[in-house]
Structure 1
Amino acid sequence: MTRHRTAWGLGLSGLIPFIACLVVAFLGPTAWQVTAVYAFVYYAAVILSFLGGAHWGAVLQRTDKARMPGDIRRLALAMLPSLIAWPSLMLSPVMGIWVLMVGFVLIWIYDLSREGRFGWPKWYLLLRSVLTVVVVLAHAGMVLRLGESAWGF
Structure 2
Amino acid sequence: MTRQRELSLLGYAGLIPFVAGTAIAFVDDGAHLDAGLTVIMFYGGIIASYMAGMGAGALVVSEKPAGRPLLPGMLAALVAWIVIMPSGFHRTDDLWTAARLFALAAVFLFLLTIDLKAVRSGGFPDWYGALRIWLSFGACLALAVVAVRVLTA
Indicate which of 68, 76, 79 corresponds to 2:71.
76
Check conservation: 1:25, 1:37, Cα contact below 8 A.
Answer: yes
Check conservation: 1:55, 1:78, Cα contact below 8 A.
Answer: yes
Deviations 1:28-68 (A, max 9, x none): 65423211112211111111111110111111123x5xx74
TM-score normalised to structure 1 length: 0.83
Residue 22 of structure 1, CA deviation: 0.2
Q: How does 1:53-64 map to 2 (within 5 A)?
A: 53-62=53-62, 64=63
AA partner of residue 80 (structure 1): L
In 2, Cα distance between equivalents of 1:124 and 1:28: 38
1:88 equivalent in alignment to 2:44: no
Q: How does 1:1-150 map to 2 (within 5 A)?
A: 1-27=1-27, 30-62=30-62, 64=63, 68-71=65-68, 73=69, 75-89=70-84, 90=86, 92-113=96-117, 118-148=122-152
In 2, Cα distance between equivalents of 1:132 and 1:14: 11
Structure 1: which 4+ aligned runs deviate by more than 6 Å?
none
AA partner of residue 34 (structure 1): D
AA partner of residue 143 (structure 1): A
Root-mean-square deviation (CA), in Å?
2.2
Identity among equivalent positions (%) equals 30
Going from structure 1 to structure 2, the CA distance change for 1:28 and 1:83 (only over 3 Å counts) comes to same
In 2, Cα distance between equivalents of 1:52 and 1:81: 7
User: Structure 2: 5+ residue runs without aligned partners?
Assistant: 88-95
Check conservation: 2:66, 2:121, Cα contact below 8 A.
Answer: no
Check conservation: 1:52, 1:81, Cα contact below 8 A.
Answer: yes
Going from structure 1 to structure 2, the CA distance change for 1:70 and 1:23 (only over 3 Å counts) comes to same
Number of aligned residue pairs: give it.
144
